[in-house]
Structure 1
Amino acid sequence: MKRIALFPGSFDPFTKGHEDIILRGLRLFDEVVIGIGNNATKKRYFPVEVMKELIERTFEGQQNVKVITYDDLTANAARQLGATFLLRGLRNTTDFEYENGISQVNRYVYEEIETVFLITSPNLAPISSSIIRDLHRYGQDVDDFLPYSLSELNKLKEENQ
Structure 2
Amino acid sequence: MFITVYPGSFDPVTYGHLDIIQRGAKVFDKVIVAVLENPSKQPLFTVEERVRLLVEVTQEIENVEVDSFDGLLVDYMRLKSAKTIIKGLRAVSDFEYELQMASINRKLNDEVETFFMMTNNKYSYLSSSIVKNVAQYRGSVKDLVPYPVEKALQQKFSS
Judge conservation of contact 2:22–2:61 (CA < 8 Å) in 1.
Answer: no
Distance 1:121 1:103 in 2: 21
> How many residue pairs end up in the alignment?
156
Residue correspondence of structure 1 range 50-65 to structure 2 within 5 A: 50-65=49-64
Tell me what 2:40 maps to: 41
Letter in 2 for 1:142: V
Distance 2:139 2:46 in 1: 20
Tell me what 1:26 maps to: 25
Residue correspondence of structure 1 range 119-134 to structure 2 within 5 A: 119-134=118-133
Deviation at 1:40, TM superposition (A): 2.2
Deviation at 1:12, TM superposition (A): 0.4
SS in 2 for 1:96: helix
Distance 2:142 2:101 in 1: 31
Normalising by structure 1, report the TM-score: 0.91
Judge conservation of contact 2:25–2:61 (CA < 8 Å) in 1.
Answer: no
Deviation at 1:125, TM superposition (A): 0.5
Letter in 1 for 2:151: S
Deviation at 1:5, TM superposition (A): 0.4
Computed over aligned residues only, the root mean square deviation of the Cα atoms, in angstroms, reads 1.6
Deviation at 1:63, TM superposition (A): 2.6
- Unaligned 5+ segments in structure 1 are none
Normalising by structure 2, report the TM-score: 0.92
Residue correspondence of structure 1 range 142-157 to structure 2 within 5 A: 142-149=141-148, 150-152=150-152
Judge conservation of contact 1:50–1:153 (CA < 8 Å) in 2.
Answer: no
Judge conservation of contact 1:54–1:153 (CA < 8 Å) in 2.
Answer: no
Letter in 1 for 2:54: I
Tell me what 1:83 maps to: 82
Distance 1:69 1:31 in 2: 16
Moved beyond 2 Å, runs of 4+: 152-155
Letter in 2 for 1:114: E
Deviation at 1:67, TM superposition (A): 0.4
Is 2:82 the counterpart of 1:67?
no
Task: Give the 3 Å change call, closer, same or farther, for CA 35–4 of structure 1 in structure 2.
Answer: same
Distance 1:64 1:51 in 2: 19
Judge conservation of contact 1:4–1:29 (CA < 8 Å) in 2.
Answer: yes
Deviation at 1:46, TM superposition (A): 1.4
Tell me what 1:17 maps to: 16
Tell me what 1:118 maps to: 117
Instruction: Describe the superposition over 1:32-90 as per-residue Cα deviations: whole angstroms up to 9, x where unpaired.
Output: 00000012221001122111111101111333100001011111111111110000000
Distance 2:110 2:93 in 1: 25
- Unaligned 5+ segments in structure 2 are none
